[in-house]
Amino acid sequence: MENQVKIETEKKEKVKGVFDAKPTAAFISASWASLLIGMVSFCVGLWNATMDLNEKGYYFTILLFGLFSVISVQKTVRDRLEGIPVTDIYYGVSWFVTIVSILLLVIGLWNANLALSEKGFYGISFFLSLFAAIAVQKNTRDIKFLEQKES
């Protein structure tokens, strides 16, 4: 039992060193800009699309679903790294819904009557948004971690 506590303490000490550097203002700005550009581009594309309203709703819902799921994955991965308990079920569900959101977009675009350039546009803006959401969540968590450490 003592050995397990010692291992957990050593793990937490290693993690503390990893997150001691505050993200730069440039990286924070680039992350937020990428998130906004990706989301706004995707939504403007939907607004201007000639598809039915139910199709627009499908793609918009997938965007929201994907954003939420990648934030959840980032949180669970980081929690585990920091030694915060995360159930295997929640961890698995987070990854599962992320994969499902991507598959739903791919299936929707594969079967859509859109030009290949439009399909590429939606795919790129979707993945830009997902990546940026992960970066924004990471930055937010790093800053909060350092603020708590300083106080």
Q: What pLDDT digit, counting tens, does each position of 107-116 carry? A: 999 999 999 9
Which whole number is the average pLDDT over 32-51? 96
Specify if 2 maps to a domain. no
Specify if 144 maps to a domain. no
What pTM value is reported for the model?
Answer: 0.84
Q: Which residue, chain included where needed, has tokens 């706004």?
A: 40
Specify if 38 maps to a domain. no
For residues 54 and 52, give the distance between their C-alpha atoms in angstroms, rounded to a whole number: 5
Cβ atoms of 132 and 38 closer than 8 Å: yes
Specify if 70 maps to a domain. yes
Specify if 36 maps to a domain. no
Q: What is the pLDDT of residues 104-139, one digit of tens each?
A: 999 999 999 999 999 999 999 999 999 999 999 999
Domain that holds residue 74: 52-138
